A and B are shown apart, each in its own frame.
Chain A
Amino acid sequence: MKKFYEQLTDKEQWKGLLMGNHAVARAMLEAGVKVITSYPGSPTPEIAEALNSVPQDMRDYHFEWATNEKVATEVAFGSSINGNMSVVFFKSVGLNVAADSLVQLGLMNLTGGLVVILGDDPGANSSQNEQDNRHFARMSYIPVMEPATPTEAYKMFLEAAKLSKKHQMPIILRLTTHVCHAKELISFGAIGESNGYKAEFDVNNGPYLPITKTVFPLKKKAMEKLDLIRKESERSPFNNIYSPFGCKEINGKKLGIISSSMPALSVMENLDKAGKPVDLLQINFSYPMPEEMIAGYLKDKDEVIIIEELDRIMEYEIKALAFDRDIKCRILTRKTHDDIMGELTSDRTWDIMTGHWPEVFESGIKPVTQPFANPRIPQMCPGCGHRSAFHAIKQALPDGTITVGDIGCHSLGFFEPYNMGEMLLSMGHSNGTAAGLTIGNEKRKVLAFIGDSTFFHAGLPAIINAVLYDHDFTLVVMENGTTAMTGHQPHAGTGEIGEKISIDKVLESFGVKFIRRIDTYQQKKLTEYIKESLDHKGFSVVIASHPCMLKFMKQQRRKEGFVQKHVEIDQSKCERHLTCIEDFGCPSFVKNEDGSITVNEDLCIGDGSCRPTCPVSAIDFKKEAK
């Protein structure tokens, strides 16, 4: 059996069951991509997982985790104008960070080619919103391809790379969560001869400097390129008609559906099931829209529903097209606000179809489902250092303290039983928001959190701002030595990439006057430091540190002779204070029918961080493991 990286780098053709993200990584190797950059974020990190699985000396490409998405975009841009095929990828909201540079890319001659892979997240499965990045593409004059399946993601990447190189312009490959993670059997092509890195930047390929004089010509060229790409989308095999039962008049009307990417699959399934002569125009090479193809489709129909996921983007463009060309077809919308939210699975898509054409797609065959009222809210792992930090910090906060959350595992502190981190905008927002909360506020203390990856990603400007104005709040850096929530990627402070950059030294060099560092398992001391820091007039920082225990335990379990420790509760000592379960809240504790508390040994990692929380010291390491 070949190892995964051996398959991934196999020069010959092969077939395999792969997820969309891994298939795209293979496509990069086939397309001769030289430079790939990213910042972690679901649903795309498995692209990096695949690329990083290949031993360094076997790589014919350079991959880097950049400090944030904007830096990642700039690195990819730089390598592209040097003549290297380049890729940058990140999650949906990553585009907001990248935007300042990304919106310029369409104006530039990207001689090596550049594909931007976006992981959009309809349904907000693992994101703070479900923003529809097709808007950004339009604002930036960048074409968009939207694969529906892993196979298509693979094929579209190859096509995107080709077009990008040919037209020297960026192309967006917009994946969505369940395209990234879907798995199916895919047939891959061969990998050609290596073409080496280039250093061919030539200012005459530009201009690359958008100043007043050049902006108009650059913008004009971008629009002309889009016109050329529109011709490609008109003849693209990714835009096609699905017609399992043909299209004939039903009650005197010819009916059709226009859809794209994953919702188009839902429509196909529904058409198969219904057995009615209604067909589907699937537009997966979606921007610039193939106007001739769509106009032709509309002319042949009396009514067409536009079924796209999230915002009404295709719909408005298609309506404008029909209006301009005086096409009589009725174009039907998704009617409700709910239809603009979440993923359009086949059952939800069926409801949209039934809503418009109840005589064609019967309702009433609703499945026998019942919502299950017993939510499982995600929690920090057993032994997580963030938990000890929240528990200790809570003891130190005067009534009325406002706590500002940020992105990362510690954002789960908002849930019971900690209820800390009461607002969240984006990565690195906490210091800015906290500063605003202090202005003119003599009454209430303000405390902000930030993770260590976020500190470097987007935290620094607002920290500098807080230092300059000496804004009166306390920042707690929740340092766990990794970018945990997205799957333990390295960052500037971990020492896995280059030499570790010390958060303490960075803060000292900024001139922060109050800095304390403490391991979060030392809860008493942490509580003291927080009290002190809140008393300190002006900006203060406490670095609350403990390694991510999920990562740590994974490493420990791999070691020879590893023995799993646990804690147990001495039932003769326990007075049912319930501090362990109700305040500290490690998920390993079990509340039994009789009211007693025990430990679930499947979950407990035996770190003992719960011990100091028990007022009668009833929790201790289990005897045999001592």
Chain B
Amino acid sequence: MKDLNIYMCGVGGQGIGLLAEVMLRACHKAGYDVKGVDTHGLAQRGGTVVSHLRIGKKIHTPLIPSGKANIVIALERLEGARAASEMLDEGGKVIYYDAEYQTIGNRLGKFKYPTHEELEATVKAKNGESVRVFEEELSDPRMQNIVLIKKMIELEWIPGVDTAIVSEALAELMQGKMLEKNLELLKA
């Protein structure tokens, strides 16, 4: 398979750390050579957080060059739009959870919060594909990352990363009720 650059992003507090760790482990279990890096800065919430995951035999640095992401996984729309603009490669794919976390600039009326159409147009301009994910009935916002992973598995964007492998990765990272709830959602 061709090398793949997977760029994950969201807003601090959304659980991107878990998303990234699950993806890293799942890709490794599916037999790929993986390198990843989280660019988490500070504890408090509310800033942009991103994580890079690269799979392939001849990768040296874990950082994806700008404009070279083949897949963007976004936990939030504005961050999805940012990644589509700044990181997505020609012909790349974007999957985003349609959570809307306004920035202070949005609330003070200095910047407009992007619409779905705007995000999708950015991706189209690069001849890419975008997939919106939203689950009306989701009780716990901290499980949005699992909903995204579930959709990713269905789309088969990363051959070999399936429900069984992701479940295995999850089981390494959590236990008890939390694990049960996540697995239930993943397999639903």
Identify the A interface with B (CB < 8 A): 1, 17, 19, 42, 125-126, 177-178, 181-185, 262, 265-266, 268-269, 272, 343, 345-347, 366-382, 384, 409, 412, 415-417, 484-488, 550, 581-582, 585, 587, 589-591, 600-603
- Contact between A1 and B171 (Cβ–Cβ < 8 Å)? yes
Q: What's the least CB distance linking B29 to chain A, in Å?
A: 10
- Contact between A376 and B48 (Cβ–Cβ < 8 Å)? yes
Q: List the A side residues contacting B159 at CB < 8 Å.
A: none
Q: List the B side residues contacting A177 at CB < 8 Å.
A: 39
Query: Does chain A have a CB within 8 A of B172?
Result: yes
Among A182, A368, A379, point to the contact of B67 (Cβ < 8 A).
Answer: A368
Q: List the B side residues contacting A19 at CB < 8 Å.
A: 38
User: In this complex, what residue of A is CB-closest to B61?
Assistant: A265
**23 pairs of residues in contact across A and B, judged by CB atoms under 8 Å:** A42-B41, A182-B35, A183-B35, A183-B38, A265-B60, A269-B61, A346-B63, A347-B65, A372-B85, A373-B111, A374-B82, A374-B111, A378-B44, A381-B46, A409-B42, A409-B43, A409-B44, A416-B104, A485-B43, A587-B101, A589-B107, A600-B102, A602-B141
Query: Does chain A have a CB within 8 A of B160?
Result: no
- Please report the C-alpha to C-alpha distance between residue A484 and residue B44 in the assembled complex, in whole angstroms: 8
- Contact between B66 and A345 (Cβ–Cβ < 8 Å)? yes
Tell me whether A17 and B34 are in contact in the complex, defined as CB-CB below 8 angstroms, given that A181-B39, A346-B65, A381-B13 are known contacts: yes
- Contact between B41 and A178 (Cβ–Cβ < 8 Å)? no
Query: Does chain A have a CB within 8 A of B108?
Result: yes
- Mask, B1-24, CB within 8 Å of A = 1, is 000000000011100000000001
Name the residue among A266, A347, A368 with the largest chain B CB count within 10 angstroms: A368
Q: List the B side residues contacting A377 at CB < 8 Å.
A: 47, 103-105
User: In this complex, what residue of B is CB-closest to A177?
Assistant: B39
Q: What's the least CB distance linking B165 to chain A, in Å?
A: 14
- Contact between A266 and B46 (Cβ–Cβ < 8 Å)? no
Q: What's the least CB distance linking A591 to chain B, in Å?
A: 5
Interface 9-residue window, one of B86-94, B129-137, B148-156: B86-94
Tell me whether A1 and B85 are in contact in the complex, defined as CB-CB below 8 angstroms, given that A182-B37, A587-B101 are known contacts: no
- Please report the C-alpha to C-alpha distance between residue A589 and residue B46 in the assembled complex, in whole angstroms: 13
- Contact between A591 and B104 (Cβ–Cβ < 8 Å)? no
Q: What's the least CB distance linking A373 to chain B, in Å?
A: 7
- Please report the C-alpha to C-alpha distance between residue A581 and residue B108 in the assembled complex, in whole angstroms: 8
Which residues 155-188 of B sit at the A interface, judged by CB distance below 8 A? 171-172
Q: What's the least CB distance linking A489 to chain B, in Å?
A: 10
Q: List the A side residues contacting B59 at CB < 8 Å.
A: 269
- Please report the C-alpha to C-alpha distance between residue A607 and residue B79 in the assembled complex, in whole angstroms: 27
- Please report the C-alpha to C-alpha distance between residue A340 and residue B27 in the assembled complex, in whole angstroms: 35
Tell me whether A184 and B35 are in contact in the complex, defined as CB-CB below 8 angstroms, given that A416-B108, A589-B107, A590-B102 are known contacts: yes
Q: What's the least CB distance linking B91 to chain A, in Å?
A: 10
Q: What's the least CB distance linking B56 to chain A, in Å?
A: 11
Tell me whether A485 and B44 are in contact in the complex, defined as CB-CB below 8 angstroms, given that A368-B89, A374-B105 are known contacts: yes
Name the residue among B25, B39, B41, B58 with the largest chain A CB count within 10 angstroms: B41
- Contact between B141 and A374 (Cβ–Cβ < 8 Å)? no
Tell me whether A371 and B60 are in contact in the complex, defined as CB-CB below 8 angstroms, given that A347-B66, A378-B42, A381-B44 are known contacts: no
- Contact between A374 and B78 (Cβ–Cβ < 8 Å)? yes
**Majority DSSP secondary structure for residues of A touching B:** loop
Q: A19-B38, A603-B13 are in contact. List 6 more A-B contacts (CB 8 A).
A: A181-B40, A368-B88, A369-B86, A376-B11, A485-B42, A587-B46
Q: List the B side residues contacting A550 at CB < 8 Å.
A: 43-45
Q: What's the least CB distance linking B146 to chain A, in Å?
A: 15
Q: List the B side residues contacting A373 at CB < 8 Å.
A: 111
User: In this complex, what residue of B is CB-closest to A45?
Assistant: B43
- Contact between B39 and A125 (Cβ–Cβ < 8 Å)? yes
Q: List the B side residues contacting A17 at CB < 8 Å.
A: 24-25, 28, 34
Q: What's the least CB distance linking A237 to chain B, in Å?
A: 17
Query: Does chain A have a CB within 8 A of B126?
Result: yes
Q: List the A side residues contacting B37 at CB < 8 Å.
A: 178, 181-183
Q: What's the least CB distance linking B162 to chain A, in Å?
A: 19
Q: List the B side residues contacting A368 at CB < 8 Å.
A: 67, 88-90, 126
Query: Does chain A have a CB within 8 A of B68?
Result: yes
Q: List the A side residues contacting B100 at CB < 8 Å.
A: 590, 600
- Contact between A376 and B65 (Cβ–Cβ < 8 Å)? no
- Please report the C-alpha to C-alpha distance between residue A340 and residue B88 in the assembled complex, in whole angstroms: 27
- Contact between B82 and A372 (Cβ–Cβ < 8 Å)? yes
User: In this complex, what residue of A is CB-closest to B114?
Assistant: A374
- Contact between A375 and B65 (Cβ–Cβ < 8 Å)? no
Q: List the B side residues contacting A367 at CB < 8 Å.
A: 65-68, 89-90
User: In this complex, what residue of A is CB-closest to B48?
Assistant: A376
- Contact between A380 and B24 (Cβ–Cβ < 8 Å)? no
- Please report the C-alpha to C-alpha distance between residue A369 and residue B72 in the assembled complex, in whole angstroms: 14
- Contact between B86 and A370 (Cβ–Cβ < 8 Å)? yes
Q: List the B side residues contacting A374 at CB < 8 Å.
A: 78, 81-82, 103, 105-106, 111-114
User: In this complex, what residue of A is CB-closest to B127?
Assistant: A368
- Contact between B114 and A345 (Cβ–Cβ < 8 Å)? no
Query: Does chain A have a CB within 8 A of B74?
Result: no
- Contact between A345 and B65 (Cβ–Cβ < 8 Å)? yes
- A-B residue pairs, 4 tightest by C-beta: A367-B67, A378-B47, A602-B141, A379-B46
- Contact between B107 and A268 (Cβ–Cβ < 8 Å)? no
- Contact between A370 and B85 (Cβ–Cβ < 8 Å)? yes
User: In this complex, what residue of B is CB-closest to A382?
Assistant: B45
User: In this complex, what residue of A is CB-closest to B58?
Assistant: A272
User: In this complex, what residue of B is CB-closest to A486?
Assistant: B43
Among B43, B45, B61, B141, point to the contact of A345 (Cβ < 8 A).
Answer: B61
- Please report the C-alpha to C-alpha distance between residue A600 and residue B45 in the assembled complex, in whole angstroms: 14
- Contact between B62 and A183 (Cβ–Cβ < 8 Å)? yes
Q: What's the least CB distance linking A491 to chain B, in Å?
A: 14
